[in-house]
Amino acid sequence: MLRRLIPDPFLLFLFGTVLLASVLPARGAFADLVGWLSLITIVMLFFFHGAKLARDQIVGGLIHWRLHLTILACTFVIFPVLGMIGVLTLPSLLPRDLWIGILFVCALPSTVQSAIAFVSMAKGNVPAAIASASASQMLGVIFTPLLMGLMAGAHGDGGVGLGGIGKIAAEILLPFVAGHLLRPWIGGWVARHRKLVGMTDRSTILIAVYGAFSAAVIEGLWHKLSPEALALLCAVDAVLLALGLGLTWGAGRVLGFDRADRIAILFCGTKKSLLQGVPMAKVLFPGGQTGVILLPIMLFHQMQLMACAFIARRYSDTEEANSDRG
């Protein structure tokens, strides 16, 4: 039962980190140490991401350009439009920072590992999923801050200024590019030490979440957010995910893609990356604000894992049943 409720055990560590920050938030010199450690791990994370990205996956994907443009449009156009519709039509439904968090979810790129895993489980187009998810991660380094600048500016929150763009370039884009350029020399080492690199990924999230929620708790996070606001946030996340799944499924059918490609569109077009979201939020938003803004993606991440796991199993069962009849 627990396995079904929490498909990724890492989520236990994630919410445990939030609990730790709520009880023992980082203060003073220790908070400064956590901040520096978070910066170092963020740089390492995007450096390794650049080193892991195989150029032939992107170049090879250009052959199926119509499919990849559809997936990228779902990720970076449809979701932002849904977010803006929500914030403009129901501005008083959620507190301001939670709405910014919802917009941030909408601006994030796709995941890589879990999107590919679900496409594979559902018997979809795995090579296309690899190419699209990799391209999404690469473009997200640029598109996510730009989209947040546009959407937050339209929401009246000023957007991302030159300082934020400079921090993105220094802490995320430059390490990413450096890692990718050094891939011919270090790619083999990264591939052989996947577990070590995976520990870097997850430790980055935990350190960044602890620092962000520590600052938010010190500023009175749990006094500002009512249980009703958290319940409404869960509902908004659920509606956003349901609309995303419905629209990506419908887009695949309307545009005439075959079953394997529709599966790739469904999973790659709706997945949102917690791995990139946490460090990006640390760079883009002020310390006390970051903890609140991260709540929507943390909840959305859990929901998308549960929903996509169920859908992928249904696709897999249907395919096996059709094969047996054939």
Q: Residues 170-200: pLDDT tens digits?
A: 777 788 888 888 988 988 888 888 877 777 7
- Rg of the Cα atoms in the chain: 19
| pLDDT computed for residue 78 by the predictor | 95
Closest CA to 295 of 232, 204, 218: 232
Q: Which residue has the tokens 């929901």?
A: 303
Q: Tell me the pLDDT band of 1, cut-offs 50, 70 and 90.
A: very low
Spatial distance between the Cα atoms of 193 and 189, rounded to a whole number of angstroms: 6
The size of the chain, in residues, is 326
Helices (H), the chain: 2-5, 10-23, 28-52, 55-61, 65-73, 79-89, 96-107, 113-121, 126-154, 162-168, 174-181, 183-192, 194-218, 221-224, 227-254, 259-270, 274-284, 287-325
| pLDDT computed for residue 158 by the predictor | 46
| pLDDT computed for residue 112 by the predictor | 76
Spatial distance between the Cα atoms of 133 and 110, rounded to a whole number of angstroms: 6
The predicted-structure confidence for 227-281, as pLDDT tens digits, reads as follows 899 999 999 999 999 999 999 999 999 999 999 999 999 999 999 998 888 888 8
Q: Which residue has the tokens 């990849």?
A: 68
**256's torsion region: left (phi>0), alpha (psi -120 to 50) or beta?**
left
Res. 65: pLDDT tops 60? yes
| pLDDT computed for residue 45 by the predictor | 80
Q: Tell me the pLDDT band of 127, cut-offs 50, 70 and 90.
A: confident
CB 116 within 8 A of CB 54: no
Spatial distance between the Cα atoms of 52 and 31, rounded to a whole number of angstroms: 31
Q: Which residue has the tokens 């977010």?
A: 83
